[in-house]
Structure 1
Amino acid sequence: MHLSCRSKAKLLAVTLMLLSTVTWLYLGVGESEYTQASKPMAPHYLPQPDSRQELEVRLQAAQEENRKLRLQLEDLQGEGLEVEKGLERDNGSRCEQRSLAEKCELIHVAIVCAGHNSSRDVITLVKSILFHRRNPLHLHMITDSVAQTVLGNLFRTWKVPSLHISFYNASELKPEVSWIPNKHYSGIYGLMKLTLTKALPTDLSKVIVLDTDITFVTDIAELWAIFRKFTDQQVLGLVENQSDWYLGNLWKNHRPWPALGRGFNTGVILLLLDRLRAIGWEEMWRVTAERELMSMLSTSLADQDIFNAVIKSSPSLVYQLPCYWNVQLSDHTRSEQCYSELADLKVIHWNSPHKLRVKNQHVELFRTLYLTFLEYDGGLLRRELIGCPNDGDQTDSQEAELALLDEEDPCYDFRRERLASHRVHLSFLPHKTSSADPSDVTLVAQLSMDRLQMLELICRHWEGPMSLALYLSDAEAQQFLRYAQASEILQSRSNIGYHVVYKEGQLYPVNLLRNVALRNAQTPYVFLSDIDFLPMYGLYENLRRSIAEQDMANTLKALVVPAFETLRYRLSFPKSKAELLSMLDMGALYTFRYHVWEVGHAPTNFAKWRTATTPYHIEWAPNFEPYVVVKRDCPEYDQRFVGFGWNKVSHIMELDAKEYEFVVLPNAFIIHMPHAPSFDISKFRSSENYRQCVQTLKEEFHQDLSRRYGSRALKYLAVQRNR
């Protein structure tokens, strides 16, 4: 029969009072024996100290026990408040000691993560941990090269205080486990948790190991505190398996690896690394695996089979965690038996390839919880830990820059936006651009959710690689994922890199997005375009030929692709230059921005282009903003320009300052498709202050250009003064 939380609290309180009395009497004994010898001796039922030193030792022990009991009483008093609110439960699980890690103690977590999809999935786990945590965290990520690139950049741009990240090369660990045949879909990476005593630093004594498909619903410090409950022999903390797998009764002739009873699930593991190293863990699991593979031939559940075989031979190694630390939602589990009330849950483990379609009477609640963290704004998790020292290296410099800004400045929002820290998730979907062609070219563009419909259209017009930066919220990123996975056209393409830049601030960081897409192109050349332009059919091959013909590898050139536009939402796209010229003459097409911003493309010299059969050179002119093909290592866009206005103009000006030669291609074109005006262009048109701030940024850009390029930039200042 379980005692109630209130009863336990009372019992502890009485114990505490008795211990305090005994402590006081000890003090009385000491005073009687050593300072007041004439007084009566201590009562006979108290132990007589042999010496003052022994008395002090016992006193210290009593005081320490007193302190521990006080802490337990405080915890149970907190539980008692819940009891008074009607939360007392028959199973007494809420009355368990919910001790946490010491305040500001660093908690270590290890995760094996490989590939694009796993790199995306692990973020939901990390969000759930960060949401509840009150301690500094150190994530130890065992990754392949893809995951290290993706996650390294993501955490660097996320800038979460008191979060440390270390990466370990999974390729170096492959020889340790590659000899083990594994039928599990996790492949070789599903075996790498066996190698953590070797992979992790030798001075790291303990670590929590997690699968990527875990969701926390409590502070991870509660799990970390369980290490203190281990006996001297215990080195592993695991939850019992909640399926019948290791019982061998799932189907006829089912033959699982040996396990202790139902076995243990390795989705959540507490590892005492120092003790494991001391008992020769590496040799232990190797010998066990070799022995069992002689009859089993391969593992079915990856590392879990080997962990269980070791435990079968040495049961004293394991500390059995309460099952709510790993509620397993796979196809064959009976996870409902693990908890009596939903409030008991600590960790939910989506250990099924079917993820959200598993069978459980509470699966709707679990699904909602998972989706909440999946779509939760990660920027909100950049909160500092109260009362813990901040590591400072990630946030202090940004805060110092922000502090220098004048909040009375009419352009304060523009200047602050430039300093905003945007999380960047590279390669949000799997992709690979592998080409040995030295003239290969990547289409580079940026977009937000309202331009998503252009992706399938562009894929029909451009068969080459693309590098796209998408400006999305966390929830929109999941909408995009569902859209891309449901699109046969997008799924058929593996040469498109989708790089998600998460929303932060009020103004659209257009040049930051362009730079993200530019930096992550994987070909020698890039075609700097916009997402609302459709390339002519065959433009990819046309550009590759032109790059080779213009000897761009040995010259500094920018190949200009003439831009046109249509005002019609339905357009019979021209299949040749002759057809395009005919449509121009009929008024179905126009040169780009002819009606509102003719100077932006006037230097292209469309009159000459009509009859040109060979590439021709043109000169830079003020406000020129063509779409160009350049080497991938060209200057990046200036990120002070956000929202609408001068974002491409400034880039072309810097290309000219670096003495790029502008060459117009006579048989290439792109066409702008109509769409509703963006929010930023609407603000530009309606706000005098907005336009004035763009002008201020232009002037500052000119000054910076002069400092960088000296006399070559004088003409830009002259143009600016004469306007």
Structure 2
Amino acid sequence: MPLPVDGASPGASAPQFPARAPSVQDLEMKLQEAEEENRRLRLQLGELRSEEHEGDNSSRCSQRSLTEKCELIHVAIVCAGHNSSRDVVTLVKSILFHRRNPLHFHLITDSVAQRILGNLFRTWMVPSLQISFYNASDLKPEVSWIPNKHYSGIYGLMKLTLTKALPSDLSKVIVLDTDITFATDIAELWAIFRKFTGEQVLGLVENQSDWYLGNLWKNHKPWPALGRGFNTGVILLLLDKLRQIGWEEMWRLTAERELMNMLSTSLADQDIFNALIKSSPSLVYELPCYWNVQLSDHTRSEQCYSELADLKVIHWNSPHKLRVKNKHVELFRTLYLTFLEYDGSLLRRELIGCPSDKEQEEALEELDEEDVCYDFRRERLASHRVHLSFLPQKTLAEDPTDVTLVAQLSMDRLQMLELICRHWEGPVSLALYLSDAEAQQFLRYAQASEVLQSRTNIGYHVVYKEGQLYPVNLLRNVALRNAQTPYVFLSDIDFLPMYGLYDSLRKSIVQENMAKTPKALIVPAFETLRYRLTFPKSKAELLSMLDMGALYTFRYHVWEKGHAPTNYAKWRIATTSYRVDWAPNFEPYVVVRRDCPEYDERFLGFGWNKVSHIMELDAKGYELVVLPNAFIIHMPHAPSFDISKFRSSENYRLCVQTLKEEFHQDLSRRYGSAALKYIAAERNR
């Protein structure tokens, strides 16, 4: 069945998964056991073949791998939208987990999926993996004339165009839907191309439902098919021969002929494939059914296997996904959830005996293990996978005064999201630092939240965990780079904006002429020690709460110098904005143009991550301007792991000091004499 596409059908939305009992490690062990069973069976099969051909030259072939070592395997996938971009990652993980060959993925995508997956694979950095993208918009004219009732829409027809879309020198390719899970090495499937004979150009598994038999309900009239028909979730395409026999003309003529009676497709490309095969059955090599075990309410997939070891590919070809009616659905759910939550960083393993990129390995070897900052420098070299727009996000219309709230968070701050949404109605760009399993917990949380579901102007960008130190400035930069508005409000997730701050900032952007003058508009920060707070509705209410001791200026009792230059005494009576000077350790929350300098990513964990950024803004000539009627309030929470480590570890503090000194030197090289005052201030403090 064709892939589901975002928004095509209410039933196509991502499922709500129940809490998992077994750990990921337990499930991985089960998969490895199944894999070993597969290898044992293949070895037995090889021995049988060897006995059959003993004394013949072909016996040497039976001792070789089914696929040549380091042979490149090509896989094509059509993927469109935010939700399908998430689905395809689980498919890719299952392939990478079992594979022993280099892979080349050919991805036919819309602009949304290309942006998401392009960045994901670039940051994933999997050895021996090539990625090529093809613009689905270029292929739409090829199939847009075909009426399609399937929820996959126009993208469900694009597999028909692959002979034209893929490179002309590509001779064969495995084509997969996004809702596929592999339970074995894809090289086994690739090796089946060698079994094609005569006119065979398509490898397909028989349909495991009665759809094409036309007996599912009264007056059910499916497209013509050979018997039960074939399912197109897994296809072997012999591209060179398909081009030779005029595939494009063949499927077009078939579609035109059948549409005169059927008027539209019900199962997208699958209907056209089957109608063509019925008229030319010699084109098909029928794959064993375990290469596409189809799980939906109307399939008889149980007839295809008797043990877990029999399974090769599981196809969740149902909008209900994990709620299909199958007596072994719990087993399949376990397999699927294993890959869904599997740590993708573990799939970066190199292929033994195949060429690989040693660049990162060489950079690690150059590090000095005696360096007090060794851990910081090592983790600074780590490549974090980044999944942009993890949830659907609408592209914003251009607005020259619009501003995005930019912040980062981990799982322990998730409860702040709904609160911030109630205080800030404008766009938000968030970087979430999560493990693969936590990303799925977040997904369930967001999909169950009416507040979050009602917002389409929030970008959730998942940065996957790597190492022990919190990459705070990397996260900030991910959120900053992916803001869609000309201006950004650089905040933290544990601050609640005052009511109406979004509109207030937009007015201030105009009043301060920020389009022509480099400025950083400071939003004064306050804090409460109370977990329950009646949030002030105005500056007057806030000042009253300050006087009563319900609020404080931010960190005045532990880190006063961080915000003292804001000049809170002046702010109390100010009715117009006022300029302040930079001072050592100043780290206010500011509104700037999106093209401002990025945060310095050498600073990990706790210490100097915001201070260094404000210092660079000042070095670059930004005016620091305090807004008189704006404020944010910090909500209390337990200390983070990194601040606890900073307070308890002398080496941690020594490293932060070392990184500060190196930052000062780099700043001097970039900005010359303008940066000398920072070194002088550091020496005189």
322 and 6 in structure 1: CA distance in 2 versus 1, 3 angstrom threshold: closer
Structure-1-length-normalised TM-score: 0.88
Q: After the TM superposition, which residues 450-465 of structure 1 pair with which residues of structure 2 at under 5 Å, given as runs?
A: 450-465=412-427
For 2:202 and 2:415, how far apart are their aligned partners in 1?
A: 51
**Within the alignment, does 1:306 sit opposite 2:272 as a pair?**
yes
**Are the equivalent residues in 2 in contact too, given 1:466–1:521 (CA < 8 A)?**
yes
Amino acid at match of 1:402: L
**Are the equivalent residues in 2 in contact too, given 1:564–1:670 (CA < 8 A)?**
yes
Q: Give secondary structure in 2 for the equivalent of 1:468.
A: strand
Given candidates 299, 314, 318, the residue that maps to 1:348 is 314
1:607 is aligned to 569
Per-residue CA shift, 1:515-568, capped at 9, x if unaligned? 000000000000000000000000000000000111100100000000000000
Given candidates 167, 171, 179, the residue that maps to 2:137 is 171
Amino acid at match of 1:635: P
**Are the equivalent residues in 1 in contact too, given 2:372–2:654 (CA < 8 A)?**
no
1:676 is aligned to 638
Given candidates 101, 104, 116, the residue that maps to 1:150 is 116
547 and 15 in structure 1: CA distance in 2 versus 1, 3 angstrom threshold: closer
Amino acid at match of 2:598: E
Given candidates 566, 581, 596, the residue that maps to 1:634 is 596
Given candidates 317, 321, 327, the residue that maps to 2:293 is 327
Displacement, 1:410?
Answer: 1.7
Amino acid at match of 2:500: G
Given candidates 501, 508, 513, the residue that maps to 1:551 is 513
For 1:445 and 1:360, how far apart are their aligned partners in 2?
A: 44
**Are the equivalent residues in 1 in contact too, given 2:297–2:326 (CA < 8 A)?**
no
6 and 270 in structure 1: CA distance in 2 versus 1, 3 angstrom threshold: closer
Q: Give secondary structure in 2 for the equivalent of 1:304.
A: helix
**Are the equivalent residues in 1 in contact too, given 2:431–2:463 (CA < 8 A)?**
yes
Amino acid at match of 1:411: C
Amino acid at match of 2:158: M
For 2:168 and 2:538, how far apart are their aligned partners in 1?
A: 66
For 2:591 and 2:43, how far apart are their aligned partners in 1?
A: 72
1:509 is aligned to 471
For 1:110 and 1:429, how far apart are their aligned partners in 2?
A: 24
Amino acid at match of 1:291: R
**Within the alignment, does 1:560 sit opposite 2:525 as a pair?**
no
2:19 is aligned to none
2:221 is aligned to 255
For 1:15 and 1:563, how far apart are their aligned partners in 2?
A: 81
**Within the alignment, does 1:105 sit opposite 2:105 as a pair?**
no
Displacement, 1:4?
Answer: 13
**Are the equivalent residues in 1 in contact too, given 2:646–2:652 (CA < 8 A)?**
yes
Displacement, 1:696?
Answer: 0.5
Per-residue CA shift, 1:386-430, capped at 9, x if unaligned? 01112x2xxx33222222110111210011111111000000000
**Within the alignment, does 1:411 sit opposite 2:411 as a pair?**
no
Query: For the aligned residues, what is the CA RMSD?
Result: 1.4
Displacement, 1:351?
Answer: 0.3
Q: Which runs of 5+ in 2 are unaligned?
A: 1-40
1:70 is aligned to 60
**Are the equivalent residues in 1 in contact too, given 2:214–2:220 (CA < 8 A)?**
yes
Q: Give secondary structure in 2 for the equivalent of 1:428.
A: coil
Amino acid at match of 2:359: S
**Within the alignment, does 1:317 sit opposite 2:279 as a pair?**
no
Given candidates 483, 487, 490, the residue that maps to 1:521 is 483
Given candidates 496, 519, 522, the residue that maps to 1:534 is 496
Per-residue CA shift, 1:343-375, capped at 9, x if unaligned? 111000000000000011110000000000000
2:540 is aligned to 578
Q: After the TM superposition, which residues 75-224 of structure 1 pair with which residues of structure 2 at under 5 Å, given as runs?
A: 100-224=66-190
Amino acid at match of 1:439: T
Amino acid at match of 1:264: F
257 and 613 in structure 1: CA distance in 2 versus 1, 3 angstrom threshold: same
For 2:60 and 2:668, how far apart are their aligned partners in 1?
A: 69
1:96 is aligned to none
For 2:664 and 2:46, how far apart are their aligned partners in 1?
A: 74
Given candidates 320, 323, 340, the residue that maps to 1:357 is 323
2:385 is aligned to 423
1:476 is aligned to 438
For 2:511 and 2:46, how far apart are their aligned partners in 1?
A: 85
669 and 314 in structure 1: CA distance in 2 versus 1, 3 angstrom threshold: same
Displacement, 1:6?
Answer: 7.0
Given candidates 241, 259, 263, the residue that maps to 1:297 is 263
Q: After the TM superposition, which residues 681-696 of structure 1 pair with which residues of structure 2 at under 5 Å, given as runs?
A: 681-696=643-658
For 2:176 and 2:609, how far apart are their aligned partners in 1?
A: 44
1:234 is aligned to 200
Q: Give secondary structure in 2 for the equivalent of 1:243.
A: coil
Given candidates 323, 341, 351, the residue that maps to 1:385 is 351
1:622 is aligned to 584
For 2:531 and 2:632, how far apart are their aligned partners in 1?
A: 16
**Are the equivalent residues in 1 in contact too, given 2:606–2:642 (CA < 8 A)?**
yes
247 and 610 in structure 1: CA distance in 2 versus 1, 3 angstrom threshold: same
458 and 340 in structure 1: CA distance in 2 versus 1, 3 angstrom threshold: same
Q: Give secondary structure in 2 for the equivalent of 1:292.
A: helix
Amino acid at match of 2:579: H
Q: Give secondary structure in 1 for the equivalent of 2:237.
A: strand
For 1:10 and 1:694, how far apart are their aligned partners in 2?
A: 64
Displacement, 1:340?
Answer: 2.4
Amino acid at match of 2:140: K
**Are the equivalent residues in 1 in contact too, given 2:491–2:589 (CA < 8 A)?**
yes
666 and 319 in structure 1: CA distance in 2 versus 1, 3 angstrom threshold: same
Q: Give secondary structure in 2 for the equivalent of 1:324.
A: helix
**Are the equivalent residues in 2 in contact too, given 1:433–1:465 (CA < 8 A)?**
no
**Within the alignment, does 1:467 sit opposite 2:433 as a pair?**
no
**Within the alignment, does 1:276 sit opposite 2:242 as a pair?**
yes
For 2:207 and 2:226, how far apart are their aligned partners in 1?
A: 10
For 1:146 and 1:5, how far apart are their aligned partners in 2?
A: 44
Q: After the TM superposition, which residues 651-666 of structure 1 pair with which residues of structure 2 at under 5 Å, given as runs?
A: 651-666=613-628
For 1:402 and 1:170, how far apart are their aligned partners in 2?
A: 40
Amino acid at match of 1:346: K
For 1:418 and 1:366, how far apart are their aligned partners in 2?
A: 38
For 1:490 and 1:228, how far apart are their aligned partners in 2?
A: 51
| Identical positions, percent | 86
Per-residue CA shift, 1:453-509, capped at 9, x if unaligned? 000000000000000000000000000000000000000000000000000011000
Q: Give secondary structure in 2 for the equivalent of 1:585.
A: helix
Q: Give secondary structure in 2 for the equivalent of 1:332.
A: coil
For 2:670 and 2:409, how far apart are their aligned partners in 1?
A: 31
Amino acid at match of 2:529: L
Q: Give secondary structure in 2 for the equivalent of 1:142.
A: strand
2:15 is aligned to none
**Are the equivalent residues in 2 in contact too, given 1:132–1:220 (CA < 8 A)?**
yes
398 and 7 in structure 1: CA distance in 2 versus 1, 3 angstrom threshold: closer
Displacement, 1:69?
Answer: 1.1
Amino acid at match of 1:418: R
Question: RCO greater where, 1 or 2, for CA within 8 Å and sep 6 or more?
Answer: 2
Displacement, 1:448?
Answer: 0.1
Amino acid at match of 1:434: L
